[in-house]
Amino acid sequence: MERWNTGIMVFDGVEVLDFTGPFEVFSRTRTVPGLVSRRSEEHAPFCVFTIGKTTEQVTAVGGLKVIPEFSFETAPPLDLLVVPGGVGTRALLNDSATLDFIREREASAKIVASVCTGALLLAKVGLLRGKRATTHWAALDELALLDPEIRLDREARFIDEGHLITSAGVAAGIDMAFHLVESRCGREVADETANYIEYRRLPGTGR
Amino acid sequence: MERWNTGIMVFDGVEVLDFTGPFEVFSRTRTVPGLVSRRSEEHAPFCVFTIGKTTEQVTAVGGLKVIPEFSFETAPPLDLLVVPGGVGTRALLNDSATLDFIREREASAKIVASVCTGALLLAKVGLLRGKRATTHWAALDELALLDPEIRLDREARFIDEGHLITSAGVAAGIDMAFHLVESRCGREVADETANYIEYRRLPGTGR
């Protein structure tokens, strides 16, 4: 199976679990079950890395300090772009470099997936217009204000529109990631990976 | 409520969700509900930070680069020490600086909590002798070999022995963290925080 370059954005004020949940799921997925396959990348269907505006340290919510693997400029071509949320997204709504990066990379990526208030950034660049979408429960109205033509779903844990996937708040990004693993690699691979990281998947919460 | 200094260890080969799950839960807990209380530390019952052997960058499983907030030497007194797992724990079983740090800090901390194979390090310094404990399902036998007097529980998602808490693999650390929040701050605070980060708690999985 072709390995998908999976870039996860990080920035000052990114919510920790928004980006580390999908990072954990995608980076530990293996198409061959068991412990041994986890010791190498040979059977890894996702090549996962963080992307910052630069490779200078960013500080996540709560003070966690992270060094991005790539900058906007040095990041390789992406198959999957993950846009996490957090209080820091509000400043990015006016950051042209970040909005340009999302716009440009969306055009060539197979899938763009947001977690939590990452959806605000997708809305800001017009990607969610006319689409079903969700975000953190406390940001649903904010999302609607950014683009009244978004068809908000206030109940789903994640919403799969094919090329674009949005998740509800924080921990919902883990369920979204497993959904994506299942779509690409099948139910067995997703369930075996969930068992490996001892995550209890929530069935039937996506749309 | 007194704020608990909560130190979460990080090291090369730490499993991402092992340390970021509890980091997310403890750092977002507020004793006053709602969104506004999350914007400051005023009602935060846990002051959460990472601790490395030094403050040099560590590389977690999957390549996530993290800068520890404190070193073993500079870390303030701890009320709660969280010892995550990951493939990197195996090298630390022979690292006297790490084992000494756990031994010394355990003596003055109110609670020491492991996630996943972090339990191996607790066992190595003799903390689990005669106690009920758990770890990642794939490391249960390894834990028993380190100390045959540990009373293994192969079913529970976390085990609370008062001063010492151990969790099963990876994602189980999130349930352990919420259990600890509930023990300290009550059910309402734990549930409201879970709702804030949209985590569905798994009831009745601890012992």
Touching check for B204 and chain A: CB below 8 Å? no
Would you state the pLDDT for residue A13? 98
pLDDT band of residue B1 (cuts 50, 70, 90) is: confident
For A63, name the nearest residue in chain B, comparing CA atoms only.
Answer: B49
**Is B63 within 8 Å of A198 when comparing Cβ atoms?**
no
- Please give the ipTM for the structure prediction: 0.97
B35 vs A22: CA distance, rounded Å: 24
The DSSP call for residue B50 is E
A189 vs A192: CA distance, rounded Å: 5
Per-residue tokens: B169: 């693999």
Q: How far is A130 from chain B (nearest CA, A)?
A: 26
Per-residue tokens: A33: 């079950």
pLDDT band of residue B156 (cuts 50, 70, 90) is: very high
Contact residues, chain A, for B63 at CB < 8 Å: 27, 48-49, 69
**Is B61 within 8 Å of A171 when comparing Cβ atoms?**
no
Would you state the pLDDT for residue B205? 86
Would you state the pLDDT for residue B22? 98
| B60 CB-side CA count, 13 A | 31
pLDDT band of residue B203 (cuts 50, 70, 90) is: confident
Tell me if the pTM is above 0.95.
yes
Residue A146: is its pLDDT beyond 90? yes
Contact residues, chain B, for A196 at CB < 8 Å: 169-170
Q: Which domains does chain B have, with CATH numbers?
A: 4-196 (3.40.50.880)
Average pLDDT, chain A: 97
Specify whether the CB–CB gap between B21 and A17 falls below 8 A.
Answer: yes
Q: How far is CA A133 from CA A165, A205, B31, B186, B190, in A?
A: 8, 14, 31, 34, 28
Specify whether the CB–CB gap between B171 and B119 falls below 8 A.
Answer: no
B149 vs A186: CA distance, rounded Å: 42
Q: What is the pLDDT of residues A26-38, one digit of tens each?
A: 999 999 999 999 9
Q: What one-character-per-residue DSSP string does A15-46 give? A: -HHHHHHHHHHHHH--SS-SSGGGGSSTT-SE
Per-residue tokens: A77: 């071509």
Q: How many CB atoms lie within 10 A of CB B153?
A: 17
pLDDT band of residue A203 (cuts 50, 70, 90) is: confident
Q: What is the dihedral of CA A184, A190, A192, A196, to 10 degrees?
A: 110
| A interface test, pick of B71, B198, B199 with most A CB neighbours within 10 Å | B198
Nearest to A138 among B23, B27, B35 (CB): B35
Per-residue tokens: A188: 């067995």
Nearest to B69 among A16, A63, A200 (CB): A63
Would you state the pLDDT for residue A205? 86
Touching check for A70 and chain B: CB below 8 Å? no
Nearest to B20 among A20, A28, A202 (CB): A20
Would you state the pLDDT for residue A31? 97
Would you state the pLDDT for residue A135? 98
**Is B137 within 8 Å of A198 when comparing Cβ atoms?**
yes
Touching check for A50 and chain B: CB below 8 Å? yes
Q: What sign does the CA torsion over A46, A49, B62, B165 have?
A: negative
Q: How far is CA A112 from CA A48, A105, A127, B31, B67, in A?
A: 14, 9, 10, 36, 28
Residue showing tokens 């701050």: B185
Q: What is the pLDDT of residues B26-35, one digit of tens each?
A: 999 999 999 9
pLDDT band of residue B204 (cuts 50, 70, 90) is: confident
Specify whether the CB–CB gap between B165 and B176 falls below 8 A.
Answer: yes
Would you state the pLDDT for residue A85? 98
Q: What is the pLDDT of residues A74-110, one digit of tens each?
A: 999 999 999 999 999 999 999 999 999 999 999 999 9
**Is B136 within 8 Å of A49 when comparing Cβ atoms?**
no
Would you state the pLDDT for residue A113? 98
Q: What is the pLDDT of residues A163-187, one digit of tens each?
A: 999 999 999 999 999 999 999 999 9
Over residues B18-43, mean pLDDT? 97
